[in-house]
Amino acid sequence: MNNLIRLTEHGPERVNEDLWTLALTGEEPADGPRILSLDAWLQRQPEAVLSGQEPSADAVCLQPDDEAERLQPYLAVLPLIAVLFPSFRDGRGYSQAYLLRTRIGWTGELRAVGDVLRDQLSHMRQCGFDAFAVREDKSAEDAIKGLSGMSVLYGRSAIEPRPLFRRRTSTC
């Protein structure tokens, strides 16, 4: 993923070398860590992984129809969770990300993959994403500007659960 942006303590940064290969078609990449579909990932997990004894070598990608709750027993061994956006018009990935962060308790890297565009990044961040694989035909440097698009958020989000009226300090 050449157009990968990751949020760091210094702000959004382009990742020059991403080791992960998105492998959703069933074809096995030659080497290196893979991001598999939920069903393929679950089929490969031995009992030792479920009991938390052994970390998984592969990451998982949730597709729009997948239930994020199925990952709850595996959170301790997952290195990364990706969420697929098959089209910029499909918003189910936002709900999956928010659910993973606020209810399921995922604290690791949450990566948006697929049809990810600059205009979506700020909202994706509010839903809990901290890495974004921007579409290959778009500029990652330009997309980084999309992360600074909103300076004030009125509603609650995965990164700020208090609405704006609760964040204001009273001066009276």
Indicate the pairing of strand 11-15 with strand 34-37.
Answer: unpaired
Alpha-carbon span 62 to 67, nearest angstrom: 8
Indicate the pairing of strand 4-8 with strand 11-15.
Answer: antiparallel
Buried b (16+ CB within 10 A) or exposed e, 118-153: bebbbbbbbbbbbbbbbbeeeebeebbebbeeeeeb
Give me the pLDDT at residue 24, please: 81
Nearest to 108 by CA among 77, 83, 132, 79: 79
pTM as predicted: 0.82
Give me the pLDDT at residue 158, please: 63
C-alpha separations of 8 from 52, 72, 118 in Å: 27, 25, 18
User: Which residue ranges in the chain fall short of pLDDT 50?
Assistant: 172
| Residue 135, helix vs strand vs coil | coil
